[in-house]
Amino acid sequence: MNTANITSSTHPSAQNQEPGSSRLVISMAVAGFISGVIIIAIYMLTFDTIKENKARELREAVFRVLPDVSHMQKLHFVDNKMVVVKSDGMDDEMIFAGYDKDAKFIGYAIQGKAPGFQDTVHILYGYLSSNSNITGMAVLESRETPGLGDKIFKDMDFVSEFINLPMHKDIKAVKKGTKTQENEIDAITGATISSKIVVKIINQAFKKWSPRLPQQGSEPALELSEVKVVKES
């Protein structure tokens, strides 16, 4: 056997050496940069679609909680009065005014949010200042437990309890089958916490917004040039 060949074949070569740490760091940095560029590109490509979808979902929610509404516009409380805003965005200081096909004011769609069992619950409810009645409730965002907490928007019996619900005093969620007062609603069996969270959000939002709402007959007129949403036929 040739000793020179044995020595040559067992000697470490540069090709068989593991890459250095600096090379690994550079490779990971490049991969991370490329991934970041791809994520940003996808976000930019889908941003308009996501924005349109959210606007559509909001529009549909307003029409669900306010019956007979054909138009709506966004309102902000500024300098102790409600004013129409042109913003395409949405923030916690915004509510919505609903109008019929003849531009007559119907009521408000008021939003509210609070920590839920797992994450923030964001809801919208319709309110008629003319008789202090809630006309409906819709969940805009929720990550409550599937099969239990998510019943706050999947259980139609629960959702329907907020139709024509008097708001003369705080709403209360009670054990199913035990309500005796007009301001009580049946909590969902197995999802009592989530049910009470919805009630809490409405009560808190009502306390916040009721002092701010204009007196009946003084509601902001529909500014046709600023109409953000027109109900689809």
Q: Note the pLDDT tens digit of each residue in 198-224.
A: 999 999 999 999 999 998 888 989 986
Amino acid 25: pLDDT: 79
Amino acid 6: pLDDT: 46
Q: Note the pLDDT tens digit of each residue in 73-102.
A: 999 988 888 889 887 667 888 999 999 999
Q: For the chain, which residues make up each domain, given as ranges?
A: 50-230
Q: In angstroms, rounded to a whole number, what is the distance separating the alpha carbons of residues 173 and 199?
A: 7
Q: Note the pLDDT tens digit of each residue in 115-154.
A: 887 788 999 999 999 999 999 999 998 877 777 778 999 9
Q: Note the pLDDT tens digit of each residue in 13-35.
A: 545 555 667 787 788 878 887 87
Model-level pTM?
0.73
Q: In angstroms, rounded to a whole number, what is the distance separating the alpha carbons of residues 156 and 171?
A: 18
Q: In angstroms, rounded to a whole number, what is the distance separating the alpha carbons of residues 119 and 112?
A: 14
Biggest alpha carbon–alpha carbon distance for the chain: 108
